[in-house]
Amino acid sequence: MNHHQLEKDIQHLEHVISHISAEDRIPLSYWRNRIDSVSDAVRMPTQVNRIKRLNAALAALEERQKIDCRRGQGFASSSSLDYTTPGHTIDMQAGFSAARLAALTRTLQDYVERGATGYFEALGLRDEAAHLPMERDTLFRIASMTKPVASAAILMLVEEDRLALDMPIAQWLPELAAPRVLRDPGGPLDETDPVPRR
């Protein structure tokens, strides 16, 4: 991870950790992993101190979460969220039992690890106007999925610090190392100028 990207990551984490609230749907374990991945790359003493402060702030939030969960309040007393299942949020106002949902999650995870189908049920309507029920073999048309799939893959690479959004594209597509643009949109195709660097 380069120094510029590292600094941006630390600034982002400082902003997020100082603004986490009960309404935040991202579990604290996610932010713990992010801080851990950044702390592995930190070399400068000032950044080390900032990571220590981030760790202390997150540890305080994690402790508060444990206390609130033991009281049955979720993340904070004003919240309807219960974070008792690690990595998941549960809306208690929907009438679900946090303990039973946690047991269901463990059971389904076991099915996933074994490659078995844990639960497969057709619910709802496939055609609301005609009141046709959803069936197990109902087909759905999904179009133009390249961009969202590629975007998710890129964001995963960014999260793993294997890619930065400000890296030059020429590292992967050398033909774009020296892009050129038409001098005049209506002019000949051989009258081009290099793209100015910012």
Read off the DSSP letter of residue 165: T
Does this model's pTM top 0.85? My answer is: no
The full set of domain ranges for the chain reads 3-120
> Helix (H, G, I), strand (E, B), or coil: what is residue 160?
coil
Asked if 92 and 73 count as a contact pair (C-beta separation under 8 A), the reply is no
Convert the pLDDT of each residue in 139-170 to its tens digit.
Answer: 888 788 899 999 999 999 988 888 888 888 88
Q: Among 86, 73, 102, 69, which Cα is nearest to 33's?
A: 86
Residue 102's pLDDT is 77
Give the integer Cα–Cα distance in Å for 185 and 36: 50
Residue 77's pLDDT is 31
User: What are the beta bridge partners of residue 194?
Assistant: 180
The residues annotated as belonging to the active site are 144
What element of type H or E holds 108? helix 98-114
> Helix (H, G, I), strand (E, B), or coil: what is residue 193?
strand
Residue 51's pLDDT is 87
pLDDT at 21 over 70: no
Kind of pairing, strands 125-127 and 180-182?
unpaired
Convert the pLDDT of each residue in 85-142 to its tens digit.
Answer: 444 555 555 666 777 777 778 777 777 778 877 778 888 999 899 999 999 899 888 7
Residue 49's pLDDT is 85
pLDDT at 84 over 50: no
Asked if 34 and 161 count as a contact pair (C-beta separation under 8 A), the reply is no
Q: How far is CA 135 from CA 116, 118, 124, 132, in A?
A: 20, 18, 9, 9
Mean pLDDT calculated for residue range 41-54: 84
Residues 6+ apart with CB under 8 A from 42: 6, 10, 48, 51
Q: How far is CA 113 from CA 56, 99, 100, 119, 174, in A?
A: 35, 21, 20, 14, 41
Convert the pLDDT of each residue in 179-190 to its tens digit.
Answer: 889 999 888 998
Give the integer Cα–Cα distance in Å for 193 and 65: 58
pLDDT band, residue 20 (cuts 50/70/90): confident
